[in-house]
A and B are shown apart, each in its own frame.
Chain A
Amino acid sequence: MDLILPDFGLLVWTGLVFSLLLFLLAKFAWKPILNAVNTREEKIAEALELAEKTKAEMQALKAENDQILKEARAERDLILKEAKEAATGMVEDAKGKAKDEAAKIVESARQTINSEKAAAMAELKNHVASLSLEIAEKVVRQELSSDDKQKALATQLAGEIKMN
């Protein structure tokens, strides 16, 4: 029967020892242990969060880099295109100019030729005129060398005038 009856002395000792144990453990054991465990758990959680954040940041950075690269590439293409266009333009220009110049040169050559030709023609004309005069003089002189001949001519000329 006394197996299931509480004993006063043991109850007093239990109360005393257990209360003291609870107090000492709570103050000197559980508090530092739980604090350390909590701190570590927080640290780990923070580290994990940071890793996650860094990962996201890295991803954003990579995306940004890709974007920049893409843009750079596009710009390069644009510049190349422009350069090509400019080069083509320049060549075309040069060609045009050359053509114009050539045309000009040809034109001026033609003009020169024409003017030279005109000058030559004029000279030729003059020459021919003077030659004709000389020939005419000679002919005239010969024609007028005898009286007969002078008479014939005068007749001829008179005839000619008559015809008019």
Chain B
Amino acid sequence: MQQAGKFSSLLQIIVFALSFFVYQPFAKASEEENFNVGEMIMHHIKDAHEWHIAGPEHGGISVYLPVILHDNGFKFFSSKHFYHGQKMEVAINDSTSYHFMAGVGPAEGYALYHEEIYKLDAHGSLHFVGEHPHNSTPTDLSITKNVASLLFGSLLILIIMLSVARFYRKNGAVAPKGLAKFLEPIIVMVRDDIAKANIDKHKYHKYVPYLLTIFFFIWINNMLGLIPIIPGGANLTGNITITLFLAFCTLLVTVFSGNKNYWGHIFWMPGIPVPMKIFMIPIELIGILTKPFALMIRLFANITAGHIIVLALISIIFINKNIAWAGLSVPMALFISVLEILVAFLQGFLFAMLSALFIGAAVEEAHH
């Protein structure tokens, strides 16, 4: 009975703390306008030049990330000069106006609008055509939230794997212990069930490091994305740029591994009449691209959807403006989060598996 009391009071504290952390950012927004769920979610799943922790959108607790611009030479400054810059408004007509942040200090002459950096025009303003500014943009190489998450995730993978490697280097080929014991079955799974199962057994060795890297990169970054607070929470693997790059890597590996048999099947499909052979060429060529394209979309959509669902479920509380809704939305969000842990692994596995499948098809010898 006492334990139950303790537990409920703990729950109250958690709910209270949660409401404090989550509710604050939108408190101001809801005063000004109605809480816009779609906008909030889009803001969370997209990249940013700051890593927001708590508090209102501008001026809350945030890690301001470095901005790196290439615009007649490199420019480095903190994104603080945007977020704490000058709030500007461009009125198109009576009903529509756009807000953007003009940089101050070292960020002078640049503006931040929807996390995109534009050069200000001669009037010190942005020129809107439709919903988007038509100002020129500098090359933005900033350490954005996703880049920071990418660096952190990669460093984490590197530290984990190097410590596992150190175990084997120190102890030789013995039964694994600790971290190695946990990771070895997964490494062996990637080697045997992903690489060996799909790629010719004399050729698979070459592709194991790539498949291992891609699997752990996706898995660990997926998991980091599920952590709601810094250094997690960035929608890195749900970003089309990342999935595009990873899918492109698989495309490159596939294309450069393709043997005579593979290209033969694309440009002169055996076993069908000549007109069909010609007809099949464009289809097969498109097929080369659609396979990695599917990889790109699958990872992007799965991870982004996971983030959106969790955020949407949490938003139920703010839409109804009643903490009691937490009783529904928190368990549901928790359920989805647990499901997302499975999805995190599954998507990494699938990406590596399908990559291995495509590589396997590219290096397969003709059956005679």
Q: A17-B154, A43-B173 are in contact. Are A30 and B244 (CB under 8 A)?
A: no
Prevailing SS type, chain B contact patch: helix
Q: A26-B213, A30-B208, A30-B209 are in contact. Are A10 and B187 (CB under 8 A)?
A: no
From B46, B147, B187, give the contact of A33 (CB < 8 A). Answer: B187
Question: B52 CB to closest chain A CB, in angstroms?
Answer: 18
Asked if B57 is at the interface (CB within 8 A of a chain A CB), the reply is: no
Asked if B242 is at the interface (CB within 8 A of a chain A CB), the reply is: yes
**Which B142-167 residues have C-beta < 8 A from chain A?**
142-144, 146-147, 150-151, 154, 157-158, 161-162, 164-165
Asked if A163 is at the interface (CB within 8 A of a chain B CB), the reply is: no
**Which B107-162 residues have C-beta < 8 A from chain A?**
114, 116, 139-144, 146-147, 150-151, 154, 157-158, 161-162
- Smallest CB gap from B184: residue in A: A37
Cβ A32 vs Cβ B240 within 8 A: no
**In the bound complex, what is the Cα–Cα distance between A92 and B30 (angstroms)?**
133
Cβ A2 vs Cβ B173 within 8 A: no
Cβ A25 vs Cβ B47 within 8 A: no
Question: A32 CB to closest chain B CB, in angstroms?
Answer: 4
**Which B38-68 residues have C-beta < 8 A from chain A?**
42, 45-47, 68
Cβ A33 vs Cβ B165 within 8 A: yes
Cβ B242 vs Cβ A10 within 8 A: yes
- Smallest CB gap from A22: residue in B: B213
Q: Mark B177-190, 1 if CB is under 8 A from A, else 0.
A: 00010001001100
From B165, B210, B217, B239, give the contact of A29 (CB < 8 A). Answer: B165
Q: A11-B244, A29-B161, A33-B165 are in contact. Are A2 and B213 (CB under 8 A)?
A: no
Q: A8-B140, A21-B217 are in contact. Are A3 and B249 (CB under 8 A)?
A: no
> Which A residues touch B141, using CB under 8 A?
9, 12-13
Asked if A148 is at the interface (CB within 8 A of a chain B CB), the reply is: no
Q: How large is the interface on A (under 10, 10 to 19, 20 to 34, 35 or more residues)?
A: 35 or more
From A4, A24, A31, give the contact of B158 (CB < 8 A). Answer: A24
From B114, B157, B245, give the contact of A2 (CB < 8 A). Answer: B114
Cβ B147 vs Cβ A13 within 8 A: yes
Q: A29-B162, A33-B164, A33-B165 are in contact. Are A17 and B151 (CB under 8 A)?
A: yes
Asked if A36 is at the interface (CB within 8 A of a chain B CB), the reply is: yes
Cβ B241 vs Cβ A7 within 8 A: yes
Asked if A39 is at the interface (CB within 8 A of a chain B CB), the reply is: yes
> Which B residues touch A11, using CB under 8 A?
241, 244-245
**In the bound complex, what is the Cα–Cα distance between A43 and B172 (angstroms)?**
12
Q: How large is the interface on B (under 10, 10 to 19, 20 to 34, 35 or more residues)?
A: 35 or more
Cβ A4 vs Cβ B240 within 8 A: yes
> Which B residues touch A3, using CB under 8 A?
42, 45-46, 240, 304
From A26, A29, A40, give the contact of B164 (CB < 8 A). Answer: A29
Cβ B154 vs Cβ A21 within 8 A: yes
Asked if B298 is at the interface (CB within 8 A of a chain A CB), the reply is: no
Asked if A15 is at the interface (CB within 8 A of a chain B CB), the reply is: yes
Cβ A2 vs Cβ B168 within 8 A: no
> Which B residues touch A5, using CB under 8 A?
240
Cβ A37 vs Cβ B187 within 8 A: yes
> Which A residues touch B188, using CB under 8 A?
37
Question: B165 CB to closest chain A CB, in angstroms?
Answer: 4
**In the bound complex, what is the Cα–Cα distance between A38 and B143 (angstroms)?**
40
Cβ B147 vs Cβ A9 within 8 A: yes
Cβ A15 vs Cβ B212 within 8 A: no
- Smallest CB gap from A11: residue in B: B241
From A7, A9, A32, give the contact of B168 (CB < 8 A). Answer: A32
> Which A residues touch B191, using CB under 8 A?
34, 37
> Which A residues touch B139, using CB under 8 A?
8-9
**In the bound complex, what is the Cα–Cα distance between A80 and B179 (angstroms)?**
72
> Which B residues touch A17, using CB under 8 A?
150-151, 154
> Which A residues touch B151, using CB under 8 A?
13, 17
Cβ B165 vs Cβ A18 within 8 A: no
Q: Please list 22 pairs of residues, one from A and one from B, whose beta carbons are closer than 8 Å in the complex, sorted by A's number.
A: A2-B46, A4-B300, A6-B244, A7-B239, A8-B139, A9-B141, A11-B244, A14-B245, A18-B246, A21-B217, A25-B158, A26-B213, A29-B158, A30-B187, A30-B208, A32-B165, A33-B161, A33-B165, A34-B191, A36-B173, A39-B172, A39-B173
4 pairs of A and B residues whose beta carbons are closest in the complex:
A36-B168, A29-B161, A40-B173, A39-B173
Q: Known A-B contacts: A7-B239, A9-B140, A30-B187. Give 14 more (CB < 8 A).
A: A2-B116, A7-B140, A9-B141, A9-B142, A17-B151, A18-B213, A32-B169, A33-B164, A34-B191, A34-B208, A36-B168, A36-B172, A36-B173, A37-B173
